[in-house]
Amino acid sequence: MRLNRTQSGICTASLLCLIILLSVSLRILYANRYLPNRDSIHYVLVAEQAAEGGFWDEFCLEYSPNMPPLLHLILGGIAILGGDVFFWGMVLMLLSNVIFIYGIYLCGKELFHNYPPAGLCAALLVATTPEFISVGGNIMRDNLYHCVFVFALYCGIRMAESKKTMVLDAIGYGICCTIGFLCRKEAVEIPAILMLWGIVSLFASRANFKKVFQSSMIAFFACLGTALPVFFVLNLYYPVQSALISALSSRL
Amino acid sequence: MFNSYFVNTLFYANIVVLGVYLFFLVCFPKKRPRNLYFLSAIFLTILWRIIVGSLGYYQSRRYFLPATALLLLLLSGGIFHLCHFIRNVLLHFFLKRFPKNNSCGWLFIAAVLIGILSINLPKAFHKDPHNTEKKTISCIQKYLESANGNRTVLANAKIGRRLQNRIPAENVIIYSFDNKNDVSEIDIDAFIYNLALDNKDFILVLSDDVRQQEFSSKERLKELLGVFPFDYLTSVSGELITYSVFQYNKQIGRIGATETVPDPEAVILSQQSPSGLLFDLSSLMSSDEFAATDFTEKESVYMGTYWRLAPSSPFLDGKEFMVYICNVASWPVREYSATITKQENTANLHLRLKRQAEVKKAAAESCYYSINRIPKAFIPQSGGTVDQSNLLLSLLNSDLELTLRQASGDASQNGAAHWPGESYKAALTGSGVQEEWAFNAIHPRNQTSDQAYRILYVGCALEEDRIKDIFTQSVLNFSSESTIDYQFYPEIAFASLGDYEKHLEKALGNQTYDFVVLNIGANDFLWKSPTWNDFQRAFTPKHMLAQLFKKISVRYPGTCFAAVLPQLPAPGDAFFHQGSPFNWRKKKQGHHSLCNTLYEIEKDVNSSNFDVVPAFASIEKQDYPMTDNGVEKQYTYTCLLLPQGYQKVADAIVAWLAVKAEKDHE
């Protein structure tokens, strides 16, 4: 029996929903069964200080000042609003996992045109890999970073696949660079991959140099446009310079 | 690290599929993903993780997850290629026909996926003793609650995290052998000793396998700490593991507490001033304390002990706010809830004491320095001095700062930007520790020597240009015939101790030196490295360092070794956040821990050819590049000294050298 396009779409969407449901269930099961990671506890403790007014001090004391602060800011915001930091933190983690799985599906679909179910297959593999379940069942910055990383990957794959410059994808890529760096310092790899792609394209036989150059520049300016305001706002409270210096010095 | 992540059942299952797929890519290049970006991403994410992981920076499998996601993406394509390949082969050879529909292919794909899931899911939820079961937690919870006077100490036992979260003012530390990152390969007694240095009050929960095999040498702990420091409380049995719960004896090493209790309630009448109402808070605090509030208002100004409030302030209408009295180190020591009631021309400030830190007076005998070993300071005869506070800061335990940290209001914003060393020194002087504290000042008898010595200086490359000439000149002034070799290691080498050992062994080689100076810390590079600034992680390298120093002192009996204490963390660290010295505190704790370890090593080695030399003890504020008003921006994160500072360091080392040379001569 051959499925028409609509039926195939419904079937894929249903399977994807099932995979996402499976992924969320596994992570909830994991969180309910095991002790949370020590990192989770520290994040919650620091965030709870936000309600008492000593957030930044506690943050800097608990961690080195080189820690990217996005997750702490979100959890601190939850504490200020009076929510249960652990519960809503877990909700946030599950949400970012859902987005991560969806992003993996999109990447797989984009990457293997000839095998449409490859995206579903990739999503299933990621949803059930033990280490991803363990991280997904804890409050960790990794979850946010995976989510951003996979969308940067998706934008990058689309930029590379297309014959013309994909402006929206390039902008998305730039924004992912900024958000990624606010999640984990390892996010320096996102722009590094773009640079490597640019260099590799120089030697590729069928590369469109104009497209590569334009995409890179758009991504660069999108990154700059989002990073600068964040940098100046955060700098009022947080030693962003040291985070940058530390990230660069430890990577080089 | 990279290997340890992938060497498991899942890896082998996946690698078979991936291997076949890679074989495919080579045989049928048209099938490979042609997306250059994706290939670049796979290459880069895996490559740099392998490099950085092999240098020892990454200690968690989580860092490899983005690379894993990319591999799984590749694998998903591989599964399809593989299944179609197998299906076509089977159909071609056995049924002698090519397939007309995909049903067989789908069956293969489903089979492969089910195979992978059947490995993945049990692995995610297999019985791992590291993940303590709820029943055990519940038992420990019950015990802890009964030990705390039936108070609820776990807010949410179902989740279990509260076990580590809600124990009032104590830490609970749970260890089992499967928690390999923490204790499996290290000396549990030494580990406990180290914890006792860093955490004064804690409950230790050890699994029985740890307790029976390692935690049995009470005598050894007695030797280390002077007394067996734990009260055995109870055993808690879970389904898999039996835990033993120990309470660290709080009296051990505790600094004698003296409390000054102010009036629980106070009313301060305002004074008139041209620009508002003036409150004199001097009755609330001593001369080295200052006041701060939990709000910032442009019109409110602090002037010494006076607090001026603008007439338009909303707080004049009875709104409640907090007043913190902070000590010199900017820690709030008392917290008042305050309201202002306004009268015609005056106002009353009503203060009600809410919380008070337990202010402790440090006593000399309670300071952990070198395990009852009085440190030696080598002082040059030419008139150099040792600042006692510098030594004291290195070796004193962190009780003083920890006990003052009871409330963490936003006080630091209003505090004066002290140079943290000065603040601590002031706190120590005020507490009377400095007067009681002692060290052995050793002066060389001779300023010069006719002997020719072979000297090796091992130090951080960062300081090469700064100290090399100064040290050479100092040595030649002492003994003009001496020769000095230098071995400078990269800043990062000490972070991964293995490299440091390699550099040291390469430098020593088969050479015969009379004196070897080991300068292990270029200050901030030491504390910035993740290996050293985390107490728990730092334990293993400290253990390795002890082994290294023991080894070389035995291997080279004719050589005198000097391990130079690392200097205090850079003062500029205090200034990143409006004068808050938090970061400096954190690094100082690590510094204290390492200094004590070095003295432990000195005691363990117990050989005349190994000394700890506190060469940085004479460094003062003016030896750092800064202005009178504080640290200049560009030097905020520097750990480097002015030439005069390095001269003091060199003089102290040469003083040690002269003392050892005299003994050898005798």
Please give the pLDDT value at position B491: 63
Task: Give, to the nearest 10 degrees, the angle between helix B65-94 and helix B9-27.
Answer: 60
B132 interfaces chain A, CB cutoff of 8 Å: yes
Please give the pLDDT value at position B410: 27
Mean model confidence pLDDT for chain A: 82
Same domain for B189 and B242: yes
Digit-coded pLDDT (tens) for B405-457: 322 222 333 333 334 444 445 555 554 444 445 567 777 877 788 888 999 99
Digit-coded pLDDT (tens) for A180-198: 988 888 888 999 999 998 8
Please give the pLDDT value at position A238: 56
Same domain for B142 and B108: no
Please give the pLDDT value at position A152: 95
**In Å, how far are A48, A138, A140 from A88, measured between CA atoms?**
12, 12, 13
Whether B258 maps to a domain, the answer reads no
* Spatial distance between the Cα atoms of A135 and A125, rounded to a whole number of angstroms: 15
A29 interfaces chain B, CB cutoff of 8 Å: yes
* Spatial distance between the Cα atoms of B158 and B260, rounded to a whole number of angstroms: 41
Reported confidence tier of residue B537, pLDDT bands at 50, 70, 90: very low
Q: Is the separation of the CB atoms in B4 and B54 below 8 Å?
A: no
| Per-residue DSSP letter, B356 | E
Q: In what order do the strands lie in the sheet with B276-280?
A: B271-273, B276-280, B306-309, B301-303
Comparing A24 with B150, the larger pLDDT belongs to A24
Examine the pLDDT at B101 and tell me if it is beyond 70: no
* Spatial distance between the Cα atoms of B39 and A200, rounded to a whole number of angstroms: 10
Q: Is the separation of the CB atoms in B203 and B246 below 8 Å?
A: yes
Q: Which residues contact B145 (CB under 8 A, 6 or more apart)?
A: B151, B152, B153, B154
Q: Which residues constitute the domain of residue B280?
A: 265-356
Which chain B residue's Cα is nearest to A149?
B66
A11 interfaces chain B, CB cutoff of 8 Å: no
| B562 φ, ψ (degrees, to nearest 5) | -120, 120
Comparing B503 with B275, the larger pLDDT belongs to B503
Cα angle B539, B541, B546; round to 5? 95
Contacts of A201 in chain B (CB under 8 A): 36
Asked if the Cβ–Cβ distance from B586 to A64 is below 8 Å, we say yes
Please give the pLDDT value at position B400: 41
Contacts of B326 in chain A (CB under 8 A): none
H/E segment holding residue B473 = helix B464-478
Q: What is the DSSP string of B580-631?
A: --HHHHHHHHHHHHHHHHHHHHHHHH--TTEEEE-GGGG--GGGSS-BTTB-
Q: Is the separation of the CB atoms in B515 and B453 below 8 Å?
A: yes
Contacts of B76 in chain A (CB under 8 A): 108, 112, 118-119, 121-122, 125
Comparing B610 with A241, the larger pLDDT belongs to B610
Whether B392 maps to a domain, the answer reads no
Query: Which of residues B90, B124, B158 is at a domain's end?
Result: B124
Please give the pLDDT value at position A19: 93
Same domain for B566 and B477: yes
Same domain for B289 and B206: no
Same domain for B491 and B345: no
Q: Which of B73, B119, B406, B638 to mutate to test the interface with A (most CBs of A within 10 A)?
A: B73
Coil, helix or strand for B161?
coil
Reported confidence tier of residue B13, pLDDT bands at 50, 70, 90: low
Asked if the Cβ–Cβ distance from B121 to A197 is below 8 Å, we say no
Please give the pLDDT value at position B581: 39
Comparing A193 with B119, the larger pLDDT belongs to A193
Which tokens in the block code for residue B217? Answer: 């040498």
Which tokens in the block code for residue B545? Answer: 């360092």
Q: Which of A25, A28, A35, A63 to mutate to test the interface with B (most CBs of B within 10 A)?
A: A35
| Per-residue DSSP letter, B578 | T
Examine the pLDDT at B237 and tell me if it is beyond 60: no
Please give the pLDDT value at position B636: 41
Examine the pLDDT at B508 and tell me if it is beyond 60: yes
Comparing A87 with B134, the larger pLDDT belongs to A87
Please give the pLDDT value at position A7: 81
Average pLDDT over residues A12-20: 92
Examine the pLDDT at B627 and tell me if it is beyond 70: no
A8 interfaces chain B, CB cutoff of 8 Å: no
User: Among residues B182, B209, B130, which one has the least CA distance to residue A33?
Assistant: B130
Contacts of A34 in chain B (CB under 8 A): 131-132
Contacts of A8 in chain B (CB under 8 A): none
A95 interfaces chain B, CB cutoff of 8 Å: no
Lowest mean pLDDT among A158-167, B103-112, B299-308: B299-308
Asked if the Cβ–Cβ distance from B44 to A153 is below 8 Å, we say no
Asked if the Cβ–Cβ distance from A251 to B580 is below 8 Å, we say no
Please give the pLDDT value at position B451: 84
B119 interfaces chain A, CB cutoff of 8 Å: no
CATH number of the domain where residue B521 is located: 3.40.50.1110
Please give the pLDDT value at position B179: 42
**A 192-231 → B contacts, CB under 8 A:** 192-194, 196-197, 200-201, 204, 207
Reported confidence tier of residue A52, pLDDT bands at 50, 70, 90: low
Reported confidence tier of residue B629, pLDDT bands at 50, 70, 90: very low
Digit-coded pLDDT (tens) for B342-359: 877 778 888 887 766 544
Examine the pLDDT at A163 and tell me if it is beyond 60: yes
Asked if the Cβ–Cβ distance from A45 to B77 is below 8 Å, we say no
Lowest mean pLDDT among A33-37, B173-177, B241-245: B173-177
Whether B12 maps to a domain, the answer reads yes
User: Among residues B528, B533, B563, which one has the least CA distance to residue B548?
Assistant: B563
- The partner residue sitting opposite A65, judged by closest CB among B72, B79, B576, is B576
Please give the pLDDT value at position B201: 45
- The partner residue sitting opposite B408, judged by closest CB among A35, A57, A142, is A57
Comparing B382 with B359, the larger pLDDT belongs to B382
Reported confidence tier of residue B226, pLDDT bands at 50, 70, 90: very low
Asked if the Cβ–Cβ distance from A121 to B109 is below 8 Å, we say yes
User: Among residues B438, B260, B440, B432, which one has the least CA distance to residue B363?
Assistant: B432
Examine the pLDDT at A113 and tell me if it is beyond 60: yes
* Spatial distance between the Cα atoms of A54 and B115, rounded to a whole number of angstroms: 51
Same domain for B274 and B183: no
Same domain for B333 and B438: no
Coil, helix or strand for B460?
strand
Same domain for B605 and B525: yes
Same domain for B620 and B580: yes
Comparing A197 with B465, the larger pLDDT belongs to A197
Q: What b/e readout covers A159-188, taking b as 16+ CB neighbours within 10 angstroms?
A: bbbeeebbeebbbbbbbbbbbbbbbbbbbb
Q: Is the separation of the CB atoms in B261 and B251 below 8 Å?
A: no
Q: What is the DSSP string of B366-397?
A: GS-STTT-PPEEE--TTT----HHHHHHHHS-
Examine the pLDDT at A167 and tell me if it is beyond 80: yes
**CA–CA min distance A120, chain B (Å):** 8
Lowest mean pLDDT among B151-165, B235-249, B295-309: B151-165
B10 interfaces chain A, CB cutoff of 8 Å: yes
Please give the pLDDT value at position B171: 41
Digit-coded pLDDT (tens) for B324-342: 675 543 445 667 788 888 8
Mean model confidence pLDDT for chain B: 62
Cα angle B150, B154, B158; round to 5? 125
Digit-coded pLDDT (tens) for B24-74: 666 666 666 678 888 888 888 888 877 776 665 655 677 888 888 888 888
Most confident of A214-228, B137-151, B375-389, B599-613: A214-228
Reported confidence tier of residue A86, pLDDT bands at 50, 70, 90: confident
Same domain for B499 and B642: yes
**A 50-79 → B contacts, CB under 8 A:** 52-54, 56-58, 60-61, 64-65
Average pLDDT over residues B587-604: 71
Average pLDDT over residues B142-156: 48
Same domain for B278 and B226: no
- Share of residues in chain B with pLDDT > 70 (%): 39
Residue indicated by tokens 């938090």:
B582
- The partner residue sitting opposite A128, judged by closest CB among B33, B52, B121, is B121
Average pLDDT over residues A23-50: 76
- The partner residue sitting opposite A132, judged by closest CB among B65, B76, B113, is B65
Average pLDDT over residues B305-309: 69
Same domain for B544 and B510: yes
Please give the pLDDT value at position B397: 45
Please give the pLDDT value at position B21: 63
Please give the pLDDT value at position A26: 92
Whether B80 maps to a domain, the answer reads yes
Asked if the Cβ–Cβ distance from B408 to A64 is below 8 Å, we say no
**CA–CA min distance A178, chain B (Å):** 17
Contacts of A49 in chain B (CB under 8 A): 408
Q: Is the dihedral of CA A222, A224, A227, A232 positive or negative?
A: negative
Average pLDDT over residues A16-21: 93
Examine the pLDDT at A151 and tell me if it is beyond 90: yes
Digit-coded pLDDT (tens) for B386-414: 555 566 555 554 444 433 332 222 233 33
Reported confidence tier of residue A107, pLDDT bands at 50, 70, 90: very high
Query: Which of residues B188, B218, B248 is at a domain's end?
Result: B248
Q: How far is C-alpha A50 from the chain's CA centre?
A: 24
Which chain B residue's Cα is nearest to A49?
B408
Please give the pLDDT value at position A177: 93
Please give the pLDDT value at position A18: 93
Average pLDDT over residues B565-586: 50
Coil, helix or strand for B184?
coil
Please give the pLDDT value at position B614: 82
Task: Please count the residue pairs, one from chain A and one from chain B, whose beta carbons lie less than 8 angstroms apart.
Answer: 190
Examine the pLDDT at A13 and tell me if it is beyond 80: yes
Reported confidence tier of residue A156, pLDDT bands at 50, 70, 90: very high
Lowest mean pLDDT among A119-128, A160-169, B544-553: B544-553
A128 interfaces chain B, CB cutoff of 8 Å: yes
Whether B380 maps to a domain, the answer reads no
Contacts of A237 in chain B (CB under 8 A): 577
Q: Which residues contact B126 (CB under 8 A, 6 or more apart)?
A: none
Domains in chain B: how many in total? 4
Whether B444 maps to a domain, the answer reads yes
Reported confidence tier of residue B79, pLDDT bands at 50, 70, 90: confident
Please give the pLDDT value at position B208: 60
Contacts of B43 in chain A (CB under 8 A): 196
Query: Which of residues B219, B248, B277 is at a domain's end?
Result: B248
Examine the pLDDT at B76 and tell me if it is beyond 70: yes
Asked if the Cβ–Cβ distance from A65 to B63 is below 8 Å, we say no
Whether B393 maps to a domain, the answer reads no
Contacts of A202 in chain B (CB under 8 A): none
Examine the pLDDT at A97 and tell me if it is beyond 50: yes
